[in-house]
Each structure stands twice: as C-alpha cells, then as structure tokens.
Amino acid sequence: MDFVCFSGSTLPDGVKGVLVLVREGEAPAFPGCPAFASALASAETLKGKPKDRALGLSPEGLWVAMAGVGGASSVEVMTSVAEGLRSLAAKGCESVAVVSSFMDRERSVSVAEGAVLGLYRFDRYKAKDPDERFKLPSRVHVMAGDHQAMAEGAVLGAAQNYARDLANEPGNVITPSELARRALELAERCGCEARVLDEVQMREMGMNAILAVGAGSANPPRLIHLVRRVDSPKAKVALVGKGLTFDSGGLNIKPGDSMRTMKGDKSGACTVLGAFLAACELDLPVELHVVVAAVENMPDGGSYRPDDIIRTYSGKTVEVVNTDAEGRLTLADALHYACSQGVDHVLDVATLTGACVVALGENTAGLFTPDDLLSSQLEAAFRYCGERVWRLPIDDEQLKEELKSPVADMTNCGSRYGGAITAALFLKEFVSDSVKWAHLDIAGVDAVKKTRGVLVEGASGFGVRPLVRWVKGL
C-alpha cells in the first residue's frame, strides 16, 4: 500500500473513494464536490463526534465516506481512518483519498497506521470468492500529509500485521522449528544476528524447564535469540515472548472449548518479533534482543507430570503443580537467559493467565513491574497507541506464600485467586536484580472476536506499536 501526499482543491486522478475526516464543530473540508459532502453530513446528522459515520455515492460516481474524529487525537484519527477506509474498500475502491483540515506529522503517522491496520485480512487459506467486492487499496492519497511520517506509520502498521499473520497461523503450520525458521528469516531480512538452540544444546545448558514443557510433543522445542546491535546504543533491551505454538494443557489437559484458541498462545512471541521488525526498519538507536522459547505442550508417555521437580536454567528448582501452568516455566529459562545478555531492560509479553482476563476483561492487559518509572513510561506508550494496560500489584507477600513448596524452591502456580499476580511473582524469581523488568499479561487481548476500529477479527498483534514507542523513547 503506497501513501502519497497531495494538495489543492482537486482530487488526484483515478481516485474512486474519498474519506473525509470531520473534527467536532467544524464543517467538512472536501475538495471536489463540497455541496455533496455537506448534504451527506446533514442527512446523517454528522457532527464530527468520534462515532459519527456516513457513506454515500456522489452524482459523479465517487464514493464518499465521512468519519467524525472528535478532537482529532492520534487514536481518534487512526480509528476513523480504519473504519472509513474499510467501508470504501467494501465498495471496491482501489484508489482512495483522505482529506481533512488538520493534517500534521503526528496525524499523518496515525492515518497510515489506521489504513494498514484497518484493512488487514487473514485469508490465505480461503478460496477466492469471485463475487467479493472488497478491494485492498493499492494507493492512499492524503491531503497535506507528511510523507516521511506516513512512511513511519506504514512501518508500524505492517509490523503489527506481521505479528497478526504469525499469531493467526495454526499449530499444524507454526511448530517450534517453523517459528524458529521464520525468526531466522526475519533476522536475515533485517541484517541482524540470530541464534537458535535445539533440544540437545538446551539440555547441555540446563534449560530443563523449557525441555520439560516440550517433552510430550513430537515437535521438539527451540530457543530463539535475535540481536540488533548499534554503535553507542542509548539502551540495551531484551524483549521476551511466550512462544507456545500450541497448548493442550499437557497431562492436565484443557477442556475442548478452552483448547480451541490455543494457536494464539504464541502471541507474546509474535508481538516481540513484530516489535523487532519495526525497530530495525525505523533504525532505532537501541541494542535490542528478542528471546523466545518456542514449545508445544502436548500429552503423551513422555510428558512432564504433576509432582515432577525441575531444575531450571537459573539453578532454582520448581515443583510442578499443574502442567497447564506451562508458560511461566518456559519463561523462567528464557528470562534468565535474557538477563545474562548484558541488557538493562527486560520486558516479557505472554498470554499467561485466564485470571488476568477475569480481573481486567478482554480489552485490557495486565502490567506488572516493581519499577514506578518503567510503569509510567509503558502506560504512556500504550495509552498513546490506543491500547489499554492496567498496572497490578507485584508485592503481595501473602500470595507469594502460595508458591512455597515443601520439596522444591517453589511451585509453578498457586490457587485460582490472584492467579495473574502469583504468575508474575513466579516470573520475578528468574529476573536479575540488575535489570529493570516488566511483565505484560496479554491473555484476553491477544485476539478479538469482532472487527472494530483498527482491530480485525482474529489475532490483534497487541503491544507491537507501544513497545516500539517505548523503546524509541529510552
């Protein structure tokens, strides 16, 4: 999708549809046929409020979509562009224009993000419908847009779509070895270092928690490590993603309905890989590491069991209480490995607990960190990008008691109450005191059931753009 700037009162040749962004309290700014725009706005009582929408066909045969943007914040612009361009694409408009009275650099970024994210589709396994009218626009003309800013927005949107594509792939396609192969492909594309450890190498290093979770699968686990190095980095950051390519629950097998969406248990890994892609393409002055333990949790005669005791890569021992609390075990080894890379920040992203969904619902991720400054930085980045996080406590000594084991250093889970917090407390045990650490529990927000705004049914790619914004600001 190309983004092109234009100016003046004449629409570029070939444009089949126009999206008019209307700020609250302002008249539509529409070159070409202002009378039709005013009539359409009046007919639909469009006053520029954030949810105001209108669509009509002008006498000249031009599809005109109108979208209210309220005060025209970045999020309001991004949302309106996504929804407005979807309505034009549904009418078969292959070349479109976006017009407004308030375009600047910040909003130019948002226009490109909204277009790329809102027009996303995952349909590679569907037969082509000859009657399908939806056309992905090949070109988006933006009146008074900033071309460099739109290029940045397109990179950010494409990186989130990369994460969506990867997360939407089923478990029979994305196995641990295939996820590793795609990560290597990404590193080659970005000209970065890459290392993949197989099960033999992990056994030699003592990564027994990762190996235990993957022991019941015919697809052996992989430890993925990508590195982008720069001269005189402003910061050294490790992003750690949970990479369960499929999670059956192991011997504590999930009920059928709960297993239905478990191809998405790798969403944390997809997010950090997407953020890595954007950081490389935007040439951020940060040394960036991505660490993913890619594992499939399946039940067979070789599976790890409740009551097993595992000596992790850190040397700490864990008594297994439930084999469906597997993500935190893989992260235990991955986090310890990430901390050994000489970084100053470690942030992990994981679809970790159903308890987080119970606590916060399906629109908000849980944020855990003992560092107030890091928390405020991350909250600001997510807020700016229109994604919701809520900080939860990580200093609950009573809940920490639930992780005590009579036979090992700790258990791998506590009771169902406060489960998101006990999971975070477990992870904290494998993080070095010398790094600033945060944990994002994205269970519930990793996928959406209904298209709205920039979100399209399926994997969300949650966290890609905010993480890039946070890294950029370090």
Dihedral of CA atoms 276, 281, 286, 289 in degrees, nearest 10, equals 20
How is residue 347 written in tokens? Answer: 């942030």
36 CB-near residues (< 8 Å, 6+ apart): 56, 58, 59, 64
Give the separation between CA 94 and CA 416, rounded to whole angstroms: 51
- CA torsion sign for 3, 8, 13, 18 is positive
Q: From CA 118, how far away is CA 166, in angstroms rounded?
A: 17
The CA angle 327-333-338, to the nearest 5 degrees, is 110
How many helices and strands, by DSSP H and E, does the chain display?
A: 15, 19
What are φ and ψ of residue 404, in 5° steps?
-75, 140
Give the ranges where 194-302 is alpha helix by DSSP (H).
199-205, 208-214, 256-259, 267-281
CA distance 69 to 118: 16
Element (H, E) at 44: none
- Catalytic annotation present for 126: no
What is the chain's percent helix, strand, coil content, to nearest 5? 35, 20, 40
**Catalytic one among 91, 121, 195, 254?**
254
What are φ and ψ of residue 239, in 5° steps?
-105, 125
254 is catalytic: yes
- Say which of 86, 107, 164, 328 is annotated catalytic: 328
User: Rounded CA gap, 81 and 20, in Å?
Assistant: 9
Residues designated catalytic: 254, 328
